[in-house]
């Protein structure tokens, strides 16, 4: 794990609803497996019933057929598939889709499996509603999305690192609480001058990370320079590390800095731990960095927002038929409340915008940076038997003041454009961060 921790999480706002089905899709032959049939049926049903706008069934059938024809065309087969017809009987429509897939498989003469064509049909089905967020996820895509949101486990020491521009050594920018490095006494700001006797002066971040990671139970020896003095070599036993989504450290003037890479399953808990540690260290104000954070779970957005908003609405969810559900703060706000600045940019999206919008509307903090992405719709993921899934837009959300920000984004209270070649989280190379620090320092000076 290293300081370039901003995962390209295509993770958008997701409220998981998991269909309790099991099994696997069998490939081979021209007959759909029971799992394939279930995939088609479950996906079709959810799209018709749960998409946040009314769905034209003929349009869905046309999209399914078009995707199958496109798959045949890619392998040089000019398919002749019958036109699908919508009616009042969903069972007959599903039967038509099943026969269409099997007919396409027969025409490929073994070049494409019925499983592959089943995936093509599902993809066309989702694309038919012309919503960029409503998509089919094959097993690989679904697994990658889960990893992006929930992180992965690996053998390591539990530190976040970056290259120190002055000394060219590796600098410790954050230490995961209770991880091996934390237990061994490694601190934020330490310089790692050598790993297992090898100097880090010419190591890249990637090379250093590779040295720090390793099999659980093995050891690594770090040579540490602290406050200009070399310490005795420290031997650390690697343990299982869960990739975290919250990174924190103290900036000058006792300003706590917390960066969220994604709104994952454990983000709310990680943030609570980080804020508690910063408060323990005497933080007088907080900077919440949501730049390049593409979102994640709705529940995580609620949990994160609740750390700063003590009570009242966080977000309202409007589903099909104008049914509105308002979610309120869960009484977990930090106490006492601290001056707050939130950093955002054009890649701040979805769950990040829920949090930014709630903080802006309630006035508990100031938003700094550039206009956010503007994704104001909610997706639900439905697992399918063959370890795949469909992600369907099921609702739109509104901020506490009733703002609908889809395609509009959130305009910061203080607009600050990004400097050239920024290094997020490093005040000397991050104009937006410097402005946030200045704002908070002014707030603290006036309240003194």
Per the residue annotation, which of 39, 150, 289, 361 is the catalytic one? Answer: 361
Structure tokens at 238: 């690697």
CA angle in degrees (0–180, nearest 5) for 23-36-138: 85
The answer to whether 141 is a known catalytic residue is no
C-alpha to C-alpha distance for 280 and 187, rounded to whole angstroms: 15
C-alpha to C-alpha distance for 426 and 411, rounded to whole angstroms: 24
Per the residue annotation, which of 123, 305, 350, 388 is the catalytic one? Answer: 350
Per the residue annotation, which of 375, 388, 391, 430 is the catalytic one? Answer: 375
CB 382 within 8 A of CB 46: yes
CB 422 within 8 A of CB 430: yes
CB 2 within 8 A of CB 205: yes
β 414-415/159-163 pair status:
unpaired
Structure tokens at 195: 């790993």
* H or E element at residue 37: helix 34-50
- Look up tokens 């889960």; give the residue: 146
Q: Length of the chain, please?
A: 448
The answer to whether 350 is a known catalytic residue is yes
C-alpha to C-alpha distance for 432 and 253, rounded to whole angstroms: 17
How many other C-beta atoms lie within 10 A of the C-beta of residue 110? 10
How many other C-beta atoms lie within 10 A of the C-beta of residue 107? 19
The answer to whether 361 is a known catalytic residue is yes
CB-based burial label for 413 (10 Å; 0-12, 13-18, 19+): middle
Q: What are phi and psi of 378, to 5 degrees?
A: -115, 135
Largest interatomic CA distance in the chain: 79
Nearest to 355 by CA among 310, 312, 298: 298
| Residue 430 half-sphere exposure toward CB, CA atoms < 13 A | 20
* Region of residue 221 (phi > 0: left; psi between -120 and 50: alpha; otherwise: beta): beta
* H or E element at residue 326: strand 323-328
Catalytic residues, by residue number, are: 350, 361, 375
């Amino acid at each position: 794990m290293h300081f370039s921790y901003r995962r390209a999480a295509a993770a958008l706002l997701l409220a998981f609803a998991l269909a309790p089905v099991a099994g696997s899709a069998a490939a081979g032959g021209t007959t759909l497996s029971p799992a394939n049939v279930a995939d088609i049926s479950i996906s079709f049903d959810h799209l018709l019933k749960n998409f946040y706008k009314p769905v034209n069934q003929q349009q869905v059938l046309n999209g399914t057929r078009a995707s199958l024809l496109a798959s045949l065309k890619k392998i040089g087969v000019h398919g002749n598939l019958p036109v699908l017809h919508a009616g009042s009987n969903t069972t007959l429509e599903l039967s038509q889709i099943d026969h269409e897939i099997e007919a396409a498989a027969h025409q490929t003469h073994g070049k494409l499996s019925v499983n592959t064509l089943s995936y093509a049909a599902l993809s066309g089905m989702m694309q038919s509603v012309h919503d960029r967020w409503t998509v089919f996820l094959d097993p690989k895509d679904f697994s990658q999305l889960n990893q992006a949101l929930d992180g992965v486990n690996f053998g390591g020491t539990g530190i976040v690192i970056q290259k120190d521009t002055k000394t060219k050594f590796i600098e410790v920018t954050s230490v995961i609480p209770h991880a091996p490095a934390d237990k061994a006494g490694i601190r934020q700001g330490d310089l790692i001058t050598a790993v297992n006797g090898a100097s880090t002066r010419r190591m890249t971040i990637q090379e250093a990370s590779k040295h720090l990671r390793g099999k659980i139970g093995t050891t690594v020896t770090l040579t540490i320079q602290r406050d200009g003095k070399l310490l005795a070599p420290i031997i650390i036993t690697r343990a299982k590390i869960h990739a975290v989504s919250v990174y924190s450290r103290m900036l000058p003037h006792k300003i706590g800095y917390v960066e969220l890479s994604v709104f994952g399953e454990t983000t709310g808990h990680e943030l609570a731990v980080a804020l508690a540690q910063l408060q323990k260290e005497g933080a007088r104000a907080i900077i919440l960095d949501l730049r390049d954070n593409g979102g994640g779970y709705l529940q995580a957005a609620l949990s994160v927002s609740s750390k700063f908003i003590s009570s009242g609405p966080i977000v309202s969810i409007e589903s099909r038929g104008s049914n509105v559900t308002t979610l309120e703060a869960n009484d977990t706000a930090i106490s006492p409340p601290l001056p707050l600045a939130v950093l955002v940019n054009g890649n701040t999206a979805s769950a990040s915008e829920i949090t930014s919008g709630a903080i802006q509307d309630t006035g508990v903090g100031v938003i700094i940076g550039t206009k956010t992405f503007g994704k104001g719709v909610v997706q639900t993921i439905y697992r399918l038997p063959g370890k795949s899934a469909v992600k369907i837009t099921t609702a739109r959300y509104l901020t506490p003041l009733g703002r609908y920000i889809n395609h509009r984004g959130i305009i910061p209270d203080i607009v600050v454009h990004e400097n050239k070649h920024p290094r997020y989280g490093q005040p000397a190379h991050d104009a937006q961060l410097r402005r946030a620090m200045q704002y908070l320092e002014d707030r603290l000076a006036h309240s003194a």
